[in-house]
Amino acid sequence: MEKNKKTSSKHEIIRDEHGQFVKGSSGNPGGRPTKHLTKLLRNKLDEILIADGLNMTIAEHMIDQAVKLAYRGDMQAIKWIFERVEGRPIPMKIEILNQKKPIRILDMGFTESLKELADDEVIVVEKDGSERIVNKREFDTIVEVG
């Protein structure tokens, strides 16, 4: 077994007789610097634009352009702006099956009006993924009424 070869960064590399790395030994022990690309991007976005009489950072110019697009009705720009200001919307997880069939509830905490949609039975999906059918009368005690 070859041992104790040194890389240019002076990290030990351990390989077997076929030249393959031994399990648990990395060929790049130093690894890529953490968040290296993020740092480069942040530095670039902080650069000042002077061309065309602008005196703002690239990031400020990008935001200006997004706001202009949103003002003109560009739905992608509107969505992008609101996601950054308000946060991404949380999808509601509810599936209403055909009439005379149970309602499938994936997240608990709904109001009384949801209970009124159920005919006789409600399928409750627990957090672990298991399902159980609950009679509408029992459902009164399951749903948190606000």
pLDDT at 61 over 80: yes
Helix axes 36-45, 58-71, angle to 10 degrees: 70
SS3 of 38, please?
helix
* pLDDT value of position 141: 47
Kindly report the average pLDDT of the chain as a whole number. Answer: 71
Q: Where in the chain are the domains?
A: 36-86, 94-142
What percent of the chain has a predicted confidence (pLDDT) above 70?
A: 51
pLDDT at 115 over 60: no
Its pTM stands at 0.41
* pLDDT value of position 111: 40
> How would you class 143 by CB atoms within 10 Å of its CB: exposed for 0-12, middle for 13-18, buried for 19 or more?
buried
DSSP 21: B
* pLDDT value of position 52: 74
* pLDDT value of position 28: 73
16-20, 74-78, 88-92, range with the lowest pLDDT? 88-92
pLDDT at 58 over 70: yes
* pLDDT value of position 109: 45
* pLDDT value of position 95: 59
Instruction: Give the residue with greater pLDDT, 76 vs 146.
Output: 76
pLDDT at 41 over 50: yes
Strand partners, 103: 96, 122
